[in-house]
A and B are shown apart, each in its own frame.
Chain A
Amino acid sequence: MLKEKRAADIEKVLAKYPPERKRSAVMPLLYIAQEEYGYCNDEAVREVAEIIGCDPTEVRSIVGFYTMFYKQPVGRYVIDVCDDLPCALRGADKFVTHCEKKLGIRAGQTTPDGKFTLNTVMCIAACDRAPVAQVNREYHYDLTEESFDRLVDELSRS
């Protein structure tokens, strides 16, 4: 149960908003739930709904609306590579193709061992450092095919 396991974090989140506006906490709570369960599963949705006092269906709709809440299980490392226009002007499409080859999966898929998920994403506000990716929301700037391979090899060993 999130309420027991992450009690302090939940309390901290709820303290940010007026007591009668608990619903504002839905997104930060879903992040906490996602950390615990790996993705926003039924359990996560139900528990978050209970904390903020609304219907699970409403929480489910929030999960569906935002791309950063995962609807299915994802790999241990989620690699989001930007292939939007500014990055694509600096080789992002070719770079993504390389990422797919290196990981042996297509963008949008997870490796069979559950280690990596590769996604292409819209602009992540680092267009001057393209190709750019986030691994579990941490930026990796100025990537090359070589530096990406090194990164994946490192993460594979961890």
Chain B
Amino acid sequence: MAGFYGTKNKTMDRHVLLRDVDVPDIREYDVYVANGGYEAWKKALTTMKPDEVTAVVKDSGLRGRGGAGFPTGVKWSFIPKDVFPKYVVVNGDESEAGTFKDHQIIDGNPHQLIEGVALCAYAVQAKTSYIYLRGEFYEPAKTLQKAIDEAYAHGMLGKNVLGSGFDIDMYIHMGAGAYICGEETALLSSLEGQLGQPRLRPPFPAVQGLYAKPTVINNVETLANVPPIVLNGAQWYRQYGTEKSPGTKIFCVSGRVKRPGNYELPLGKYTVRELIEMAGGIIDGRPVKGVLPAGSSAPILPASALDTKLDYESVQAAGSILGSASFVILDDTVDIVWAARKMVRFFKHESCGKCTPCREGTYWALKLYDKILSGRGTLEDVNMIGEVAAQMSGKCFCLLGEFATSPMQSTLKHFRAEYEAFIANHQGGKMNGYTDELIREGVIAGPDGVIARH
């Protein structure tokens, strides 16, 4: 189902990724082709060697858009040449709270993703690609499957594409509701039919990935960048962005802004403040309290950081991470303790259970938050939250364990006074604003004095 509004500002004359904003029907094969679609694929197959495709992506400086920001061309170059088969796996698990960019790419511009996957497959000489989509992308998956079928029907996928001798098959694999499967090794396990739990690295997926064969794993947005790079060249791509963060990036803006949505911008050109302005500013013109630059996983930035430029290095220098660039905006009506609890609840729910510090830490941290929010908290509980987070940090297999400490540690760092004020103001369980969910979850008594559940 279509229906995204797309980017509402006109910061980009022509979008590189969210081309559905400029050309509404670009999800259709004919419209995509009429707008330069599959030209990069033809160019690569007929005039470029696989290594040349990798080289141009390397030169473009494209960095992984899923969160880690690792240089994409470098990743491809790690794939050994003499081991077969190899695989391309696309990470479309998009599950970070506040992230909805891959959703729009798949719904609005699916052929650009398919072309990007094909180019990656050609560059590393993989004949089979799997696009792993989160289970909730049932409808986007239908759109994407239709586009894949069209690409096959027009000879862009399948055997001996365009007479090049290159065979390529592309399949969608649906997840079933597990945030952890966005972690690349957990995704591979899930794709192999195992529990979606992370694996120890090394070996890295480039050496032993899917079925222990060399595997490239890239995010949906990352691969959607590849066709315009291959078609127009690395220098063209570098007209956008900064030296270290080239290109454009989709910023998902959600929370307390007037026009939440996806905004594609050149990296490093605008600030967080300007991004919020593009999204219509804060509801009722209220002041910003804090910003989560990459959903629940990124340390919160206080309002004093609003002039931070939107690129990987600047956000890191400000004390957070750009990650998937899912900006959740909190205004002064938002209680930080409540917001932190929501995020901790998320991680408690999504912990895969493999590592004790994460599994148990998120469980006990949520208990502490519930205690505080129900009006029975003490300052000792606040310290304990910090301790639980410290005990988890650096002790887990994958980054989820690390991310889970972010909402705790960063809100304590910037907003400790709010925790203390909350405890002072809510002794005895006088709640306002947070009651609904806590009553529903049975943590506190409802207005009629009845504990609802548990």
Contacts and interface: CB of A to CB of B under 8 A. Distances in A.
Interface of A: 16, 18, 21, 23-28, 30-31, 52, 61-62, 65-69, 80, 83-86, 88-90, 93-94, 96-97, 100, 106-108, 120-130, 134, 137-139, 141
B260 A122 contact: no
A79 to B, nearest CB: 13
A122 B437 contact: no
A25 B326 CA distance: 32
Nearest to A34: B176
Nearest to A89: B255
Nearest to B347: A122
Contacts of A108: 453
B136 A125 contact: yes
Contact of B135 (A66, A123, A130): A66
Interface of B: 1, 3-5, 94-100, 102-103, 130, 134-139, 171, 173-179, 190-196, 211, 252-256, 260-262, 295-296, 326, 328-330, 334, 339, 342-343, 346, 349-350, 352, 436-437, 440, 452-453
Nearest to A97: B436
B174 A127 contact: no
A16 B253 CA distance: 36
A23 B211 contact: no
Given A89-B255, A122-B346, A134-B136, A28 B173 contact: yes
A107 B440 CA distance: 8
Contacts of B171: 16
A55 B1 CA distance: 38
B256 A66 contact: no
A108 to B, nearest CB: 8
A127 B440 contact: no
B343 to A, nearest CB: 6
B321 to A, nearest CB: 17
Q: Give the interface centre of A28, A84, A107 by most chain B CB atoms within 10 Å.
A: A84
Nearest to B85: A18
Contact of B453 (A24, A26, A106): A106
Contacts of A28: 173-174
Nearest to A23: B193
Given A125-B94, A128-B253, A88 B440 contact: no
Nearest to B261: A128
Nearest to B170: A16
Contact of A89 (B134, B254, B452): B254
B95 A66 contact: no
What 3 pairs across the A-B complex have the smallest Cβ distances?
Answer: A23-B193, A66-B176, A67-B177
A23 B192 contact: yes
Nearest to B179: A122
A37 to B, nearest CB: 16
B134 A125 contact: yes
B365 to A, nearest CB: 15
A51 to B, nearest CB: 12
Given A27-B173, A89-B330, A123-B96, A138 B138 contact: yes
Contact of A67 (B138, B176, B252): B176
B437 A127 contact: no
B342 A88 contact: yes
Contact of A68 (B177, B260, B295): B177
A136 to B, nearest CB: 8
A137 to B, nearest CB: 4
B289 to A, nearest CB: 11
B177 A127 contact: no
27 contacts: A16-B130, A24-B173, A27-B175, A61-B195, A62-B193, A66-B175, A67-B176, A67-B178, A69-B176, A85-B346, A86-B97, A88-B437, A89-B255, A89-B339, A97-B436, A123-B97, A125-B102, A125-B103, A125-B137, A128-B5, A128-B253, A128-B254, A128-B260, A129-B260, A130-B260, A138-B138, A139-B139
Contacts of B349: 122
Contacts of A25: 193
A123 to B, nearest CB: 4
B370 to A, nearest CB: 15
Nearest to B438: A93
Contact of A97 (B178, B190, B352, B440): B440
